[in-house]
Amino acid sequence: MPLSNVTIVRQQGLGKSARREDGTSGLIADAVAVDEKIIIGEPILLTSLAEAESKGITKAYDLANKVMLWHHISDFYAMAPKGTKLFVMPVAKQTPMTTVLAISDGAAAKLLTFAKGAIRQLALSSMSEEFANLATNVTAAQALYKWAAERNKSVQILIEGRDFVEDYSTAPSLREMSANRVSVVISQDPLVAVEDVDYAGYAQVGLLLGSVAAIPVSRDVARVRNGALPVSAAGISNGRNSNNVGYYDDDQLSAIDDMGYIFMRTFDGMSGFYWSADYTAVASTDDCDSIRMGRTLDKAADLARLKALEYLRDDVEIDSTTGQIAIEIVRNIESDIETSVLTQMADEVSGVECTIDPEQSLWDSASPLIVDLAIVARGVIYRMQINVFYTNSLSND
């Protein structure tokens, strides 16, 4: 036998959860089948641009088939780090976006089901969709979100705003819609738009998707400190761009911004191009009027659900005097849910409070135990004012 001693056994005690992959994304785009590598309607899971190219999705593939599948994937990985999961669903050219978004048998629902709730943001691209259909597509996308959320597959949806109208004042205002998980991007890289006549009206939905995937859920995609976008000029999907006379001036861009569209912008005295905002297609009074607010709320809800599942069909103590759930059980559930959310969102929320009314009975199996989870979101500095003036002295006396 060994000599007597004190033995240390190192165990797992913190109960840490596996990291939630908030960058996992989905892309639905026009494609043409290639042998057994690209099959229309069959999802492809990628973790890098090189992996896509190994499947035959190359720049040459795009140009030969008049599609932008490679381009959107390339844009995605220009922003999201290698290793970020991207589920790609190739769809046949000329497929209407409403067909893609159909809840019954659309490509989007199939992709979300295939990914088993892993996709956190989904981009929709089309080479043929007309801008006139935008309002209908936004409504269909929000319906898809509702369908997905009811099945614990909450997802932010980004729509390619192809062929933005020449007269911006005639564009529908997204701020008058009711789609708080849907965003529309209308920017384009002018150098890409001239590569092929069919590219002229494209919008950078892949670049926005990668930008969202690369940041914490609470962060504004338009945050200046995220860094400049990898473009040399800013364009709009109607062909106007910052290199040419006739591009929109600041007042006109402000008007487009007021409508809730996402595009690229500049700052006087600072080089580079940045996202204008992270709006969703809903009134600014909505709690989730931005991508970051929707992502944050959905992540908190998802984490709370996963912790609450541990209590599902559990036998718990009942207060024999009141016939209601024992107060110590209530406090344990509250604490567990709060801790779970705060532990995994420490840098993404400012506070969390879980409360359960103890005066609830568990005798009716049809009545759920009601749990309230209050979230204090992180703030964003939207504007700053600096007062500059002369003074006779810098002394505080």
Overall pTM > 0.85: yes
Range 185-195 burial, b when 16+ CB lie within 10 A, else e: bbbbbbebbeb
Tell me the per-residue pLDDT of 217-267, one tens digit each, with 9 for 90 and over.
999 999 999 999 999 999 999 999 999 988 999 999 999 999 999 999 999
Distance between CA atoms of 4 and 151, rounded to whole angstroms? 57
- Contact between residue 183 and residue 295 where contact means Cβ atoms under 8 Å apart: no
The DSSP annotation for 255-314 comes to HHHHTT-B-EEEETTEEEEEE---B-EE-TTSTT-BHHHHHHHHHHHHHHHHHHGGGTT-
Q: Give pLDDT, residue 82.
A: 95
In tens, the pLDDT along 294-320 reads 999 999 999 999 999 999 999 999 999
Structure confidence by residue, pLDDT tens digits, 88-115: 999 999 999 999 999 989 999 999 999 9
At 23, the amino acid letter reads G
Question: Which strand (E) or helix (H) includes residue 137?
Answer: helix 134-150
Per the model's pLDDT, the better-predicted residue between 3 and 364 turns out to be 364
* C-alpha closest to that of 25 among 251, 222, 295, 272: 295
For the segment 166-183, what is each residue's pLDDT rounded down to a tens digit?
999 999 999 999 999 999
E strand map for 130-289 = 156-160, 178-179, 182-185, 187-188, 235-236, 264-267, 270-275, 281-282
Give the tens place of pLDDT for each residue, 52-76: 999 999 999 999 999 999 999 999 9
Instruction: Flag whether pLDDT at 16 surpasses 50.
Output: no
| pLDDT at residue number 12 | 47
**Tokens of residue 59, six digits:** 């720049």
Give the C-alpha separation, 177 to 183, whole Å. Answer: 11
- With contact defined as beta carbons under 8 Å apart, do 184 and 281 qualify? yes
Q: What pLDDT does residue 171 have?
A: 98
Q: Look up residue 8 and give its DSSP letter.
A: P
Tell me which residue of 147, 155, 145 sits closest to 118, measured CA to CA.
155
Asked if the model's pLDDT at residue 13 lies above 70, the reply is: no
What is the C-alpha separation between 243 and 236, in angstroms, rounded? 12
